[in-house]
Structure 1
Amino acid sequence: MDKQVKEDTEYKQIAAKTKPVLDVLETISDCLLESVQSIIEGPVNVQSDQMSLTVQQIEPTVDTFHVTADPDDHGNPGGSVFFPNDMERTDKPFDLQMMIMKKNPFQWSPTADEVNLPVMKISVQNDGKSLDTSDLPVPADIFISVNLYNVMEENKIYTLNVSYDSINHIVRHSSGVRVIIPQVKGKTQVVKMFSINSSLKLEVVLGASESEVSFRNLELHGFAWPVEDGARLTYKNHKQDPHLLFLPEDILGTNQTDFYVFISVQKGQIFHGKVDESHRLKIQIGIQTFTVECSYWSEAHEEWRQDGCMVGRFTTVTTLHCWCSHLTVFSGGIFVSPNTVDPIDDITLFLTFFDNPVVVTLVVAVWILFIMLLIWARRVDQNDLRKFFSKLSLGVLTFACLLVSTIWLFLLRNLHPCRGHVQSTSSVFSE
């Protein structure tokens, strides 16, 4: 109880110190707006390394309002907003104000811990009166310049073992990496996937973690990665990041389960690089996982909330894109999400086994010898020589089993392309 009282006191002290500063900024914004004499002047922008303030007059007849703050320096706050003109018709121009602060000033709430990105405040006035923008018919597109590299972990690097046809150089098989990502309520999971040392396209399968990943799943539900340039979505001057996969909370419907993302090299494509005698490649891929959310500051509750806002598909590592049904104060949070990455190399052993005729010949010969020994032992038993040959038969069978095991281990260690790195996993893949 004493701890809660102490926290409440600290929050009140923060609010008492911060609110007057925000009021001063509002006054400065109003004064700057009054300096704009006509619509022709265009937007007026004042920037610093911690804040950006943009004011603009807009024709009352436009269908969509648009304000942009382009920072002179990439380190300065910047952003833009697009929202429909659903205001009451008037002959007087609309006054738009957009303030972007590099750090979150609304710190007098426990929910402030969920906001670690720049804050954007938007207001609309007409004839000196603030207009209600709490229920837009079409969500506003809000873009805030960010630097997600500051809060993201370093790329985790994994190796995929790939085999290709010796004649046409067509990719035949690939090992894979499976990423298990837990759902986080109210947040959008993002997976960044990219190839580091190859131009070969990847193949991605998305599903629920309790589902079995099989060859049929890969063939029916896999899609090429990254997104082709011609298939990338665009809006105004914003483009979809081809390497980011968004997993919103409701993508799996009502299933309360984790995501899995299975990544491998896409089969059927032609390898154009340097060819070696083994006809195998080691492709390195980078994987990052993190959560993103869009939030707004509720004046009524004095806390950061998420209702009415969602992460947009044009979010990149340098831009936070939010869709919101109202205009107030916006920001967001990005956090590294827990996940389990399972490199699956055993599958390569079985997929590439029949590529090597030497391996096939040796294994077939061993099994033929083993079967012949079994038949011989059986005939010995049928000739009533059990007493004399019982120990001999047992020894022959034991020797055969040891021979098969020894040759099999030799093949694994010396003929498999991943020798020295073969590992087992809990997942079984069958075609």
Structure 2
Amino acid sequence: MSAVSARPEGVPDLDVDKIRADFPILSRQVNGKPLVYLDSGNTSQKPRAVIDAMSSFAEQHNANIARAVHTLGTESTTAYEGARAKVASFIGAPSVDEVVFAKNSTEAINLVAYSMLAASLERGGDPRFKLGPGDEVVISEMEHHSNIVPWQLLCERTGATLKWFGITDAGRLDESNLEELVTERTKIVSYVHMSNILGTVNPVARISQRAREVGALVMLDCSQSVPHLPVNVADLGVDFIAFTGHKMCGPTGIGVLWGKGELLSVMPPFLGGGSMIGTVTMEKSTFAAPPARFEAGTPPIIEAVGLGAAVDYLSNLDMRAVQWHEKELTAYALPKLETVPGLRIIGPRVPVGRGGCISFHMEGIHPHDVGQVLDSEGVQARVGHHCAKPVCARFGIPAATRVSFYVYTTQDEIDALVAGLEKTRKVFG
């Protein structure tokens, strides 16, 4: 096992056998073999508690929110806002009104980018959100496409310039030119907290401090961190974070933007329509206070209920325990993978400053072929560029195979992965 520090005092072990019993899908077979699900970084499986919470809501409480005084409408509104309160507590948000529901991380990031575009076009928009020629946006080379494309579009439409941090050969964020990248011209720095392809957990304090020095905003893509380790927005010291429900035992179709209340209050709306207004006349509309301002139309109500149940489930496990379980799995997996001939790990090769997501390339074998052989053994791994094509280009590969762990992953499943990779090597010589 790779070197990993001792588990801190007070951090409990996860009862993985008990946890696995909570996930109905884990009892099925694939191609006649026991299911080995190693694609939780793509989407996690759902525990019975989440499935039951959504089913119960649909059966007993289904109605639209904030539109009726009847019993079902009140129950639905209470459930929806209750989920918001659970999320706020889970991430340490100072106020429940700082939690905005979106459909996923991508929409949450776009919400901020399009609000900045709107502010740039408006007269009297808050100067912190206004961009034009000479202004700059800073991202990183290790971003998911959802944290690249919105900023490219924003820069193209405003005349601002896009800049980025590079990646070291070890798969870490290259901060060596931080002061040259983040300057008085920088309006926002948006980067990933934990890489979805490299597994790298990026440091926050130094970049946030530099951004504060120059008056820039900071946004973190926490899609891979909030589900896997304790995240407290007050400790992060950033202005916005985005994450999604389906990677944290919840359903698809629900995500979260957290933003500082003072910033949300001056941001223009992203979408216009019902529920986000103050008043409407034929000449002009005024807008509701956040978070309603950013939740136009009927929201994903049942999905919010499911996310609330997922937050309850993870909270009961203790996110410190989740983090350490994955750290120990990663420490077990890295040296095991290194024994496979021709396998090259893309990203940090030690279980320090990284999460339980490991990507690799097998010399002479296309990742799609790797994935097919693994699937024949019941092992579910993701193959492709992982919506991170610049990372693949940085490491000179067309695509990669990725395995990602979660609360229900076992060492036996890692052994099954390695056996599948050894079979792949034999099949393709």
The alignment's TM-score, normalised by the length of structure 2, stands at 0.22
Name whichever structure is richer in helix by fraction. Answer: 2
The alignment's TM-score, normalised by the length of structure 1, stands at 0.22
Higher RCO, Cα 8 Å, sep 6+: 2
